[in-house]
Amino acid sequence: MKACKMKRLVALLSLVFLYINTASAQLAIIPQPLHVTAAKGAFVLKGQGVIGVDQESEAVGRYLQRYLLDTYALVFKVNVYQHIPLHTAIKLISNKSSAEGAYTLSVNSGGITIGGNGAGVFYGVQSLLQLMPQGRGMLFRVPACTVEDQPRFNWRGLSLDVSRHFFTVAEVEKYIDVMAHYKLNVFHWHLTDDEGWRIQIDKYPKLTEVGSKISYWAKQGKFRKLDNLVDDGRDGFYTKADIREVIKYAKDRYITILPEIEMPGHSEAAIFAYPELGCQDSTGAKNRVRMYDPSEHTFQFLEDVLSEVIELFPNDYIHIGGDEAEMDDWLHSPTAVALMKKEHLKNVREIQSYFIKRIEKFLLSKNKKLVGWDEILEGGLAESATVMSWRGEEGGLAAARMHHPVVMTPLPYMYFDAPQAKVATEPIGWNPPVYWQMVYQYEPVSASLAANETSYILGAQGNIWTEKVPNLQHLEYMVYPRALAVAELTWTAKENKNIDRFEQSMYGQYNFFKLWNLNARLPNVQGMEDLVTNKDNIGIVLKHPLKDARIQYTLDGTRPDTKMASKPFPLVIQAAVKDSLLISADVSLQGTEQHIFQTALVKQVTVNPSTVEAAGLKPGLNLTEEKAMLGNPAKGIKAVSAGTYLNGYLKISTEGDYRISTDFEISPAVDLDKQVIISQNKNKYVAPQSALLHLKIGYYQLRGYYPVNDKNKGQTLLVIKNAEGKLLDTAVSLFH
């Protein structure tokens, strides 16, 4: 038994290295296409060239013409042909026989050809743009290649909450532009909530006259204090002309807009404008009112509002919210109590269901489909509803099993208001960190679904709530690069996903971000990790994947002064260690205002060889499983492995420096000579850690513990390297 476990541990101690093919790296496209083939040569783009289009692709041709002019100052003509001449520099050809959204891209020394159906030509253009030079004033060589591509999912979404903080039309259009570059195709526009009503409704002018100025009224003391916002808020609303402009802008980029009008909860701004809509309390208590009263007046109001919304938005879906409804308020409402008696409703969840189904019936009469958050399952799901699963996957799985369409947008993976690294070093946000790797590794189609249920998963969506996001620069910092991971997990075939390849492609996008003036969060510094050492002096090498990145740092924990001289990467920090030191680093990108803040703690420990007798030791570590009990006592209890304790000794045959680390995503606990060298429950992407130790010849007591789960069973438990970076042979260095 121990021999089998030892083999398993030896396997865990091996490392897999992925080498990126230089030709593939040259053709880095996000999201990764279905098939990409690099070829020799290139096509050189020159000004005064021609973009040849047919009637169906003319709009895309003019989009490309404008992009080349605005981004590179390249002047191209757009000519419409019935049959595009072969010598034309760029040919955009509509192909109605291909699948919706599919495209082909061919580049050779004679020119560029893109063909596709519907949005396909546009998506082919986006792939072309990622093969373009990543700066101005360069030779415009597009590498020769062929690309065949089509999307995995039809719903590739990104939301924007404009209720908590308002964003202007220009800011929204920039947000849509970047979505389009990565083939995201659903813009979920969260237009109403407690903190603001942002859409003009002619029949109810006070919704914007009053409800769009909530932060103003809060400052006047006429509305509650907006203590859930990072600041005093940002007021504003969109006129119907604004809405139409944004809809056309999105349509030209093959993006559908999903408007959200919240109900029955999250409706405080509307109720502040029209108090009679609010849930009345028969006890006379004065409470914060965020719930609509389920009265005939309320339903008429909502039908009037939705009629004007429907008139504006040409898409098939209307999102009605349905989340976090404070349904207990209905227990004190005479209207709600009377409704329960009239409709024979047993509880408040059934009032919620009645409310949603009634709105659904109205939407269906207008040829619209209802979308709601997974709470709309409570009390009975509306017959034609599409469910957005946000409270984990459970609601979405339940809806799919009921044969309802589902968009997967679960916490924590798809919530971009969470920080991206250590909470203490990032802008304030909700929930624990969500790093881009976590987003990328999410799979929208659960293995628990039956084959006839998987087709109900329409796709996935990233969400951003803006209580703590006061402006566009901050918004971009929170959304990117995580939205690129959403783009790939919703577009790219599952078998083509590769996180190492994606990472390299992602780094290449930062030059485009600079071209677009996009404030994406910078990648972390490589080598910036919490470190345990027994050395009196250390040398730490810091690297960064972006060539224009620079660093300012201190060794006493104070934040670097922005007036300090910055240094290029790679950077070697030589420092004396006495007990501990705290490295604080501010990383910036030349030519931009982008920067991130990182910290790393270096802690000094003392480790000595054990006095154990080597003659009595056996090869390998001793592994002991911890058992957990699961099941129904009436049906029997099942023992399962909850975790594994490891005990033994690390044999050092040559005195020198050694680095010990873990590749578990959530770290195990590891002690050497009873000193903690790897702390448990730290995420390797958020809080990387390792030990750099000078070890004398001898045996060192090694102990540890790690939980057993599906996620870590394929990960590397411990990595032990010498000063030259060579892995120790575990067969001759681990004993018990």
Largest CA distance in the chain: 90
Per-residue pLDDT at 137: 64
> Residue 168: what are its φ and ψ, rounded to 5°?
-70, 170
Give the residue from 135, 690, 230, 249 showing the smallest Cα distance to 471: 230
Contact predicate 158/188, CB 8 Å: yes
- Distance of alpha carbon 478 from alpha carbon 468, whole angstroms: 10
Contact predicate 708/641, CB 8 Å: yes
- Distance of alpha carbon 381 from alpha carbon 375, whole angstroms: 9
Give the residue from 663, 232, 604, 601 showing the smallest Cα distance to 424: 601
Per-residue pLDDT at 593: 87
DSSP state at residue 614: G
CB atoms within 10 A of CB 685: 15
- Non-local (6+) Cβ contacts of 149 within 8 A are 33, 34, 35, 102, 103, 104, 105, 123, 124, 127
- Distance of alpha carbon 439 from alpha carbon 663, whole angstroms: 18
Question: Residue 591: which region, alpha, beta or left (left: phi > 0; alpha: psi -120 to 50)?
Answer: left
Per-residue pLDDT at 632: 65
CB atoms within 10 A of CB 499: 14
Beta strands in 101-190 (DSSP E): 103-108, 111-116, 141-149, 155-161, 186-190
Residue with tokens 């592994």: 623
683: which 2 tokens?
Answer: 């995420």
**Which one from 324, 383, 500, 655 is the annotated catalytic residue?**
324
Contact predicate 105/123, CB 8 Å: no
**Which one from 165, 188, 266, 319 is the annotated catalytic residue?**
266
Degrees, nearest 5: CA angle 246-251-254: 135
266 tagged catalytic: yes
Half-sphere exposure for 124 (CA within 13 Å, toward CB): 33
The low-confidence residues of the chain, meaning pLDDT below 70, are 1-26, 135-138, 629-639
172: which 2 tokens?
Answer: 């929204």
Give the residue from 223, 312, 334, 323 showing the smallest Cα distance to 259: 312
Q: What is the fold of 155-515?
A: TIM Barrel (3.20.20)
Structurally, what CATH architecture does the domain formed by 530-604 represent? Answer: Sandwich (2.60)
Per-residue pLDDT at 21: 34
Per-residue pLDDT at 633: 59
Handedness of CA 38, 44, 55, 256 (dihedral sign): positive
**Cα 258 from chain centre:** 19
145: which 2 tokens?
Answer: 């290649």
Please name the amino acid found at residue 91.
K
Handedness of CA 209, 215, 220, 226 (dihedral sign): positive
Q: What is the DSSP string of 195-224?
A: TEE-B--TT-THHHHTTT-HHHHHHTTSS-
CB atoms within 10 A of CB 40: 9
Residue-wise burial string across 180-189, b where 16 or more C-beta atoms lie within 10 A, e elsewhere: bbbbbbbbbb
Contact predicate 593/419, CB 8 Å: no
334: which 2 tokens?
Answer: 């005479």
Beta strands in 277-331 (DSSP E): 317-321
Residue-wise burial string across 333-343, b where 16 or more C-beta atoms lie within 10 A, e elsewhere: bebbeebbeee
Give the residue from 102, 73, 77, 96 showing the smallest Cα distance to 88: 77
- Non-local (6+) Cβ contacts of 205 within 8 A are none
Per CATH, domain 2-16+607-735 is 2.60.120:
yes
- Distance of alpha carbon 554 from alpha carbon 564, whole angstroms: 10
What totals of helices (H) and strands (E) does the chain contain, helices first? 19, 33
- Non-local (6+) Cβ contacts of 341 within 8 A are none
- Distance of alpha carbon 548 from alpha carbon 433, whole angstroms: 26
81: which 2 tokens?
Answer: 């042909």
The domain 31-149: what is its CATH number? 3.30.379.10
Secondary structure of residue 518 in the 3-state scheme: coil
443 tagged catalytic: no
Contact predicate 187/179, CB 8 Å: yes
Per-residue pLDDT at 462: 98
- Distance of alpha carbon 398 from alpha carbon 432, whole angstroms: 26
**Which one from 54, 193, 293, 329 is the annotated catalytic residue?**
193
Per-residue pLDDT at 630: 67
- Non-local (6+) Cβ contacts of 311 within 8 A are none
Q: Where are the domains of the chain?
A: 2-16+607-735, 31-149, 155-515, 530-604
Task: Specify the pTM.
Answer: 0.93
361: which 2 tokens?
Answer: 């019936």
Contact predicate 41/145, CB 8 Å: no
324 tagged catalytic: yes
Contact predicate 213/235, CB 8 Å: yes
309: which 2 tokens?
Answer: 């919304």
CB atoms within 10 A of CB 605: 17
